[in-house]
Amino acid sequence: MSNTAQAQLGAVLAAGGPELGELLERTEERLARVAEGHGERLAHHAGGTLAAGGKRLRPMLLFLCASELDERLVAAGVAVELLHMATLVHDDVLDAAELRRGRATVFAEGGRGAAAATGDLLFSRAFAELAATESEEAVRALSAASSALARGELMQRADAWDGEVTPERYLERCRLKTASLFEASCRLGALFGGRPELADRLGSFGERLGVAFQMLDDVLDVSGPPERTGKPRGADLLDGTVTLPLILARERDPSLAVPVRCAEEAAAVCDRIAATGALEDARERALGYVGEAKRALDGVALSDQRARALQLVADGVVERYA
């Protein structure tokens, strides 16, 4: 973890109180055991993915949306992180990605079959964990996020190499692919944390933040640097994924509508996108969503400590590199 990320995490943990650290620790312990008992290959690939780190942002949001401690929070936190990881392992197949969290993806290391099976295992474990809560509403919320995610991923594939993708369509993809799970995480926190009446408001905070998160991820794909993001620069360009920086840059420089075939070309196109000012514009629009997320918290009766910690997470999304 970088120094900035560590400082951000430290600030959130301090604001979230001792129970936040404890919930995260217990989540980590449960995650470490998830890959056991399903054979050596799955233990290797799923265990490696879990151990490779990651920000654990979705469980953190879930815990911060709770105001009372409840045993079911940990099960729900483990479930959203597992669902997230399942989608990343499958996403790396769809995007033919080689690097994730600074190490080889399951797809690169074990091939398509291993990645499909590893993602499937993580999906199934996510719902098994959530079943421990015996809440139909929770299972429905996670299932809705999972279905939206699948739709978003396929929509993105359908848009590959398409020069006509509009900003509106791109934003819809962000909502489906990323914001749906952020929203579900916040909803589950409200549901199990003694605040079911706040599920809509907190869900809407998560949804807005999730859109911003994906938009900024797409900016980072162009800006890098890879040493900080743990992913190569221009990966989206190389696999044909049309994101907001490219859409906005093409409006300013139509000659950018060329297919990118190799890493060198991708780096050059990243520089040309940056030169149009599209990155600042995309970032500005993402900040608008962060502002909307924060406004969704206005008037929500959270403890000052919880509200402060959620604001810090929102700021961390803006400042992040990885």
Residues forming contacts to ligand IPE in the complex (CB under 6 A) are: 54-55, 57, 87-88, 91, 95, 97, 101, 177-178, 214, 217, 231
Judging by beta carbons within 10 Å of its beta carbon (0-12, 13-18, 19+), is residue 152 exposed, middle or buried?
buried
Integer Cα distance of 239 and 227 in angstroms: 21
Any alpha helices (H) in 95-198, and if so which ranges? Answer: 106-131, 136-158, 167-174, 180-192
87 binds, among ligand IPE, Mg ion, none (CB under 5 to 8 A by kind): ligand IPE
Q: Which residues pair with 104 in a beta bridge?
A: 99
**Which of Mg ion, ligand IPE, none interacts with 238 (beta carbon under 5 to 8 A by kind)?**
none
Nearer to ligand IPE, 56 or 187 (CB): 56
183 binds, among ligand IPE, Mg ion, none (CB under 5 to 8 A by kind): none
Please say whether the beta carbons of 193 and 68 come within 8 A: yes
Residue 54 or 110: the one with the smaller Cβ distance to ligand IPE is 54
Please, which residue, 95 or 159, has the CB nearer to ligand IPE? 95
Q: Least distance in Å: CB of 291 to ligand IPE?
A: 20
Beta-bridged to residue 100, according to DSSP, are: 103
Instruction: Tell me, residue by residue from 95 to 124, as one string, x for binding to Mg ion by CB under 5 A and - for no binding.
Output: x-----------------------------
Build a one-symbol-per-residue string for 55-94: x at contacts with Mg ion by CB under 5 A, - elsewhere. ------------------------------------x---
168 vs 208: CA distance, rounded Å: 15
Closest to ligand IPE by CB, 82 or 88: 88
CA atoms of 72 and 272, how far apart (whole Å)? 49
Of the two residues 129 and 217, which places its CB atom closer to Mg ion in the complex?
217
Q: How many chain residues are in contact with Mg ion, going by CB under 5 A?
A: 4
199 binds, among Mg ion, ligand IPE, none (CB under 5 to 8 A by kind): none
* Nearest-approach distance from CB 203 to ligand IPE, in angstroms: 17
Q: How far is the CB of 177 from ligand IPE (least distance, A)?
A: 4
Q: Could you tell me if 220 and 321 are in contact, meaning their C-beta atoms sit under 8 angstroms apart?
A: yes
Cβ–Cβ < 8 Å for 261, 289: no
Closest distance to Mg ion from the beta carbon of 57 (Å): 15
- The entry of Mg ion, ligand IPE, none near residue 159 (CB within 5 to 8 angstroms by kind) is none
221-240 residues in contact with Mg ion (CB under 5 A) are 221
AA identity, residue 96: A
Q: Between 69 and 116, whose beta carbon lies closer to ligand IPE?
A: 116
3-class secondary-structure state, position 37: coil
The least distance separating ligand IPE from the CB of residue 255, rounded to whole angstroms, comes to 25
Find where tokens 């996670």 sit: 142
The beta strands (E) that lie in the chain are given as 99-100, 103-104
Query: Burial, 14: exposed, middle or buried (Cβ in 10 Å; 0-12, 13-18, 19+)?
Result: middle
CA distance 9 to 19: 15
Binding site for Mg ion (CB under 5 A): 91, 95, 217, 221
